Amino acid sequence: ESLAAVRNAWPEAEIVTRSLDQVQGVADQVSREKVQMVICDLVGEGCPGLEALQQIRRVHPHLPLVAVLPDQDFTLALSVFRNGINDVLIHPLDKSTLLNTGNRVLSREKMDAQLVHTQQSAKRSLDDLILLKAIGETTRSAEDLQKLLDRIVDLIQSALDVDIVSLLLVDDDDSLKIRSSHGLPDGVRQNVTITPGEGVSGYVLEHGEPVLIDDLSTDGRFPPRSGVVRYRTGSLLSVPIRYQQRIMGVLNVNNKRNGEAFTGVDQELLLMIAHQTALAIENMKLVGHLQEKNLEVERAHADLMKLHQDRTRFVCNLSHELKTPLTSVLGFSDLLLNFFDQIETPKIREYIAGIYTEGKHLEHLLTGMLRLFSIDSGSENWHWQSLSLSECFTHVLREHEVEIMEMDLELHIAFAEDLMPVRGDQDKLELLLDTLVDNAIKFNKQGGRLSISADNRTLHDQPAVYLQIVNQGQSVPGESAEDIFQEYSQLGELDAGKPSGVGIGLATCRAILRQMQGEIFLEPVDDEGTSIGLLLPTMELNNG
């Protein structure tokens, strides 16, 4: 009779019905069906309807509840109101009364919800404030994210007085993984992975809304999973960890130690904790990001300082190198100008030869310096083509035949038969090879060995040619392995018995390789000597 009246009053509404002999699990059905108002007959022995309303009110403290009394029973009505029921109706029901009552309780529920929201914003319980303050202090003092998560779980376990707490965060594959827990068996934390929509946690992740279950066995939404921890009580609470519009993870609590079910008040508290947790995690990530950026800035500053020092040293050395031949030129010129008539002809020839030699040395230094600046600044024109490394080496070694013979070097060349051509500009590539061969000869020992080999490799998953140049001179110390490939380094500084130069050659090599997208590195050697390795692309690399 009551059902027919309700259907008549709200013909368009979706009405969910439940028999009063099935009171157990009614609160979970209300959660599952997202019920907006409950109307319940209070009839039958023991008044099961009142028990059903009590269960619903415990889990849903703000949901509109209406009791239908069989007659004007004041004692029963008083009991109804004492249990937090919003309103009562008396049989028989009519459409007008139902509509008025429904509008009244729904309007009151909306006002109550606004009032509760205002009260929650203006006032927190002392325990809640202490808990949230503790989480805030944990955020500021925690050394890393894991310690922060562990501390939050401990605070939740203590505040809600539960046996089991789990904090899950979204992983790179969009699944949930347990990052911290209390009360779970060993091995569960490492082995459990939950996908969106899977179980209670997966549901919360997918829908972004909390789940409060009065009794899991009667809820029906989440069938039990094999291997899952068996809970002492059927009530559980799960809320999303949300930052702005993004779900970062899920907080779960189970098994209240007093055996009672979770309530809407517990849910509100856990949602506040989840919000604080989200802020704490984001703050931790932000601090970590800022620390990384700070380290990057410090490293960049250190690199700039070193570059400045190296350039200053480079300019000083260059000034010295320019001044030395210039002093000779000026000295010879001064002698010839002031004492020409007194100098014998052979000496005149010697002085003129000295001027010419030192002039050529100056020309070599200035040309190298201008070439370096031109390549390094990117203003040099490049004629890209596929080049045979073997043919380029033939041209380069021909220019060094005399030095190789004078130092009595044993030359070994081993190129792969199917060696791929490299991508580059012939003039720049031969300049690169010439500099490396010149260093390998100049810093070799008398009668030593000079080995040049090449075969096919890969660079950034693309085909490349690997080139190795090895001599038997003094080995580069391990602590200097990186330094020799820095801007304006000088190999001569590593061997006091060799000419130092000004570092133009190595700097030019780096500038050429940077344009070719190649790499240069120092390789370990078994005994004495130095081994330089290069990777030269055979095509333009895709840096995307």
Q: What is the pLDDT at residue 499?
A: 47
Q: What is the pLDDT at residue 385?
A: 94
The answer to whether domain 2-122 has CATH 3.90.550.10 is: no
Whether the bond into 92 is cis, omega within 30 of 0: yes
CATH class of 126-284: alpha beta
Q: What is the pLDDT at residue 446?
A: 93
For the residues of 274-295, what is the DSSP string, one character each? Answer: HHHHHHHHHHHHHHHHHHHHHH
Residue with tokens 């001027």: 355
CB 518, CB 436: distance < 8 Å: no
Q: What is the pLDDT at residue 512?
A: 92
Q: What is the pLDDT at residue 234?
A: 74
Q: What is the pLDDT at residue 316?
A: 76
CATH class of 385-537: alpha beta
Q: What is the pLDDT at residue 38?
A: 92
Q: What is the pLDDT at residue 117?
A: 66
- With CA atoms as reference, report the closest residue to 475 among 448, 456, 457, 453: 448
Q: What is the pLDDT at residue 72?
A: 84
Q: Which residues of the chain have pLDDT under 50?
A: 124, 126-127, 491-500, 544
CB 231, CB 261: distance < 8 Å: no
Q: What is the pLDDT at residue 493?
A: 47
* CA geometry: angle 535, 536, 539, nearest 5 deg: 135
Q: What is the pLDDT at residue 496?
A: 42
Q: So where are the chain's domains?
A: 2-122, 126-284, 292-376, 385-537
CATH number of 292-376: 1.10.287.130
Rounded to two decimals, what is the model's pTM?
0.47
Rounded to the nearest angstrom, the gap between the alpha carbon of residue 350 and the centroid of all alpha carbons in its chain is: 69
How far, in Å, CA of 426 to CA of 432, rounded? 10
Q: What is the pLDDT at residue 433?
A: 95
Q: What is the pLDDT at residue 158?
A: 86
Q: What is the pLDDT at residue 264?
A: 86
Tokens representing 267 are: 């849910």
